[in-house]
Structure 1
Amino acid sequence: MTETIDHTDLSPLRLFGTSPGNYSLILSDNHFGEATDLFEAVGQEGGGYSWDAVAHTAVRIHAPELADRIGGFDPEAGMMCVYGEDEAALRELGLLLSSAFHDRAKLAALIEATDPGDWD
């Protein structure tokens, strides 16, 4: 059974305890539509793979110290997923992404800063 961690400041992302000592940070497709236009402006669809690229960019630009603390990235078309054993690292990334999600200028800046090779 998964454990939902109550971090309302991460909205619309969700942080789950998936098993003892393992966590997943998720952004599901029911929220993608709110920013599709920003992704489409750079020729991307705005789905899980696009948000994965933005998550990589957020780490690279704003929190490079998280790179070694995050277990991995496992996006699907319908969701962005970041996982690992370090709940605090995932929460910090969640805060960065939540802030960008709610501030179109921040999100647009992350999208523009994404390396072409990161788009999947």
Structure 2
Amino acid sequence: MTEAIDRPDLAPLSLFDTSPGNYSLILTDHHFAQAADLFEAVGQEASGYSWDAVAHTAVRVHAPELGDRIGGFDPEAGMMCVYGKDEAALRELGSILSSAFHDRAKLSALIEATDPGDWD
């Protein structure tokens, strides 16, 4: 049974306990429009796939040590999802992404730093 973990500091991302010892960090399309112009400036559509690319960049640029602690990435057009067994790693990534979401300069820098091969 999936249960939300109350983490308002991660907003607009949500952290879920999906099953004992398994967690998911989610950003849904309800929030994509707020940064659509930043993605469009680099020729990308604001989607779960684009946010996935930004999440990969956030790990590479800000927290490379998380790479081995995150289970994987599973985006869809309307949702970015990062999952794994290490709740603290997902919280840390969520904090980085939440901070960028609320600071257009930080988000723009992450978008600009995204490797062309990461855009799906």
TM-score class normalised by the smaller sequence: over 0.9
User: How many equivalent residue pairs?
Assistant: 120
1:7 and 2:7 are equivalent in the alignment: yes
Specify the SS of the correspondent of 1:94. helix
Equivalent position of 2:118 in the other structure: 118
User: After the TM superposition, which residues 1-120 of structure 1 pair with which residues of structure 2 at under 5 Å, given as runs?
Assistant: 1-120=1-120
Q: Which runs of 5+ in 1 are unaligned?
A: none
**Alignment partners' CA distance in 1, 2:90 and 2:56:** 12
**Alignment partners' CA distance in 2, 1:101 and 1:88:** 20
User: Identity of aligned pairs, percent?
Assistant: 84
User: Residue 3 of structure 1: CA displacement?
Assistant: 1.4
Q: TM-score, normalised by structure 1?
A: 0.99
Two-structure CA RMSD over aligned residues (Å)? 0.3
Specify the SS of the correspondent of 1:108. helix
Runs of 4+ that moved beyond 6 A: none
Q: Which runs of 5+ in 2 are unaligned?
A: none
